Chain A
């Protein structure tokens, strides 16, 4: 009887888990495994596949796009950090000092609105703002007698322009995460520090900041993810990786290899490399911050 109940529980467990598991295997693991398989093939979607061994990986590491895309991805990560950690935390802290709840909600909503807008539409709006002829930025510069800048077509400004668009869009969401993190901090900790005579800065640095570690870790990992993958949308809409590869990143490079050059083997090799790199960086971030990320009440 006991055994039969255990079997029933196991069956139920499998039934409950299997829908999610099937979808996960079908849409996560199968594409990864298939990409790994394709990375050793020469294939252009329509002809039959030919095994080419490590040729795609060898070509990838010597490809001029790869070096540029990898370097740019690092720049994107560095550029995104202020929008994932510094500014959202600053905004969340400022808002926590707004006493009137309605005003606090209003500010939060205003900062969060870009987050729910379609990224492509956001890019189109910013494209007009960046326009060298009649964009708002150059109009502002003109007031100070500064010559117009070709924001999206100059190798010196294009990548930063994409970072700003992305940062503007995601700032509100990250701010909400920090706001939620601040609310989770036990009031007793802050009260104890206040009674001990700690300054506002000390309270932040020694109490709030360490207790916000899980949020910070999440935002750091998301920053890497965004810089490697999600920033593809503004790249593709605003610059298509140009000028002269100045804004391409690993995701855009994979897209080019796969859907512009129809070289699926090379694109798959690049995708596998990117996944591994992302895994290594994520683990490094998690370990590098000394196990911070989890704390117990």
Chain B
């Protein structure tokens, strides 16, 4: 009995040390071993494999640095949620974080990433990397006057066309829509001739909405970006048009995952979505696929929000900061971009890298690219995003009255500011 008592007492004494053994990862780093970094991103499948290829290539050239890749498949907001939850659990933020451009305001103001000038070993090295970018591109990661990272992934919205369905409907490449009027006209022909859905627009966030609304001269906020403005004519017109597409049976009433899989399965003629999908679409599609420019509204020029993400670091330790800089330098070099652009994302730097099949038109659209608008209100913006997406889905999928729903959403959103 005595032995048992001693055993139990020892186990209890050991318990706290076991429970908290993983508490501080920073101190767990071996002093003489390679510098260990963590890299968080949101990709899976082909794109996740390409990120691994980039990291492997970097590690071969830098055997003194070991990067643990942590994929968190989902949208950028979900990646951010995972990181914040991880930090709240007492873990250190990742050394390298590939965060969406539409999250940069929140990340900068709430999470305080390490500024680029504190990562670079000297001004010459910083300027050398800066020179790789067009000034307008480099400024994407400049928030409140601080350069908080490097632009890394770049995308814009495209029209993917199933040419087999077009041909079944008696249409040719010349009929691929250039304007939204064309989209409606061609969609009706496709529906009538094939019975298939003609068009689906990606819906998980405000990216497609922004592309259409801003291209039509509208906005999601007031000009000072202090209030939500959803009742401007362009906003109402775009959502009315989208609702009509669903009502006419031209656009499927499906979740976004379902709509994308329906397109890949050959059940939808056109899909408006990110160029970052181009590689996986070509891989999966069993039909003649073409990637074309996003349609314009007659009399307007397109303003397409920049999709993609930036390389950001939260490292504070000197050895880690040096290693992070080496990775950033490599990932944005010509060699790094050559590997990464195989995902379908476009090259963010001025380097000429091989153009993947389908990317040509996306590069042609680059002059029309604008910043992906953030909602005002910092943390409140997260709630506003959800309010808007609920209202928008209710309008386009459930047929809710457009003006009234937008007015209600706008009022509720502005109450949060």
> 1/0 per residue A228-239: CB within 8 Å of B?
000000000001
Q: Is the Cβ of A243 less than 8 Å from the Cβ of B397? A: yes
Q: How far apart are B153's CB and chain A's nearest CB, in angstroms? A: 23
Q: Is the Cβ of B379 less than 8 Å from the Cβ of A44? A: yes
The residue from A18, A243, A261 contacting B383, defined by CB atoms under 8 A apart: A261
Q: Is the Cβ of B258 less than 8 Å from the Cβ of A153? A: yes
> 1/0 per residue A1-31: CB within 8 Å of B?
0000000000110011011001000000000
Q: Is the Cβ of A133 less than 8 Å from the Cβ of B383? A: no
For A153, the chain B residues whose CB sits under 8 A away are 253-255, 258, 397
Total interface residues on B, CB under 8 Å, equals 36
Q: How far apart are A23's CB and chain B's nearest CB, in angstroms? A: 9
Residue of B nearest to A255 (CB): B81
The residue from A19, A131, A245 contacting B258, defined by CB atoms under 8 A apart: A131
Task: Give the docked Cα–Cα distance between A132 and B393 (Å).
Answer: 17
Q: How far apart are B142's CB and chain A's nearest CB, in angstroms? A: 22
Complex interface: stretch among B5-13, B175-183, B184-192: B5-13
Q: How far apart are A281's CB and chain B's nearest CB, in angstroms? A: 28
Taking chain A's interface residues, is the majority helix, strand, or loop, or is none over half, making it mixed?
loop
For A46, the chain B residues whose CB sits under 8 A away are 84, 87-88, 110-111
Q: Is the Cβ of B258 less than 8 Å from the Cβ of A261? A: no
For B238, the chain A residues whose CB sits under 8 A away are none
For B383, the chain A residues whose CB sits under 8 A away are 260-261, 263
Q: Is the Cβ of A261 less than 8 Å from the Cβ of B382? A: yes
> 1/0 per residue A212-250: CB within 8 Å of B?
000000000000000000000000000100111100000
> 1/0 per residue B346-383: CB within 8 Å of A?
00000000000000000000000000000000010011
Task: Give the docked Cα–Cα distance between A242 and B389 (Å).
Answer: 10
Residue of B nearest to A16 (CB): B8
Q: Is the Cβ of A19 less than 8 Å from the Cβ of B12? A: yes
Q: Say if the beta carbon of A118 comes within 8 Å of chain B.
A: no
Total residue contacts A-B, CB cutoff 8 A: 98
Task: Give the docked Cα–Cα distance between A113 and B258 (Å).
Answer: 27
Residue of A nearest to B204 (CB): A240
Complex interface: stretch among B61-69, B159-167, B259-267, B304-312: B259-267
For A127, the chain B residues whose CB sits under 8 A away are 257-258
> 1/0 per residue A244-288: CB within 8 Å of B?
110000000000100111110000000000000000000000000
Task: Give the docked Cα–Cα distance between A132 and B257 (Å).
Answer: 11
Q: Is the Cβ of A262 less than 8 Å from the Cβ of B84? A: yes
Q: In the complex, which range does the number of interface residues on chain A fall in? A: 20 to 34
Task: Give the docked Cα–Cα distance between A261 and B375 (Å).
Answer: 13
For A242, the chain B residues whose CB sits under 8 A away are 255, 390, 393
Q: Say if the beta carbon of A294 comes within 8 Å of chain B.
A: no
Q: How far apart are A219's CB and chain B's nearest CB, in angstroms? A: 32
Residue of A nearest to B382 (CB): A261
Q: Is the Cβ of B81 less than 8 Å from the Cβ of A18? A: no
Q: How far apart are B19's CB and chain A's nearest CB, in angstroms? A: 8
Q: How far apart are B148's CB and chain A's nearest CB, in angstroms? A: 15
Residue of A nearest to B380 (CB): A261
Given contacts A243-B397, A244-B390, contact A260 B252 (CB under 8 A): no
For B257, the chain A residues whose CB sits under 8 A away are 127
Given contacts A12-B5, A15-B5, contact A260 B398 (CB under 8 A): no
Give me 30 A-to-B residue pairs in the complex whose CB atoms sit less than 8 angstroms apart, sorted by A's number: A15-B12, A45-B84, A45-B85, A46-B88, A46-B111, A47-B110, A64-B412, A127-B258, A131-B254, A131-B261, A132-B254, A133-B252, A133-B258, A133-B265, A133-B267, A134-B267, A150-B258, A153-B253, A153-B254, A153-B255, A154-B397, A239-B255, A242-B255, A243-B394, A243-B397, A259-B81, A259-B84, A260-B383, A261-B383, A262-B379
Closest 7 CB pairs of A and B: A244-B394, A45-B88, A133-B262, A261-B383, A150-B253, A15-B8, A259-B81
Chain A residues with a Cβ under 8 A of chain B: 11-12, 15-16, 18-19, 22, 44-47, 64, 127, 131-134, 150, 152-155, 239, 242-245, 256, 259-263
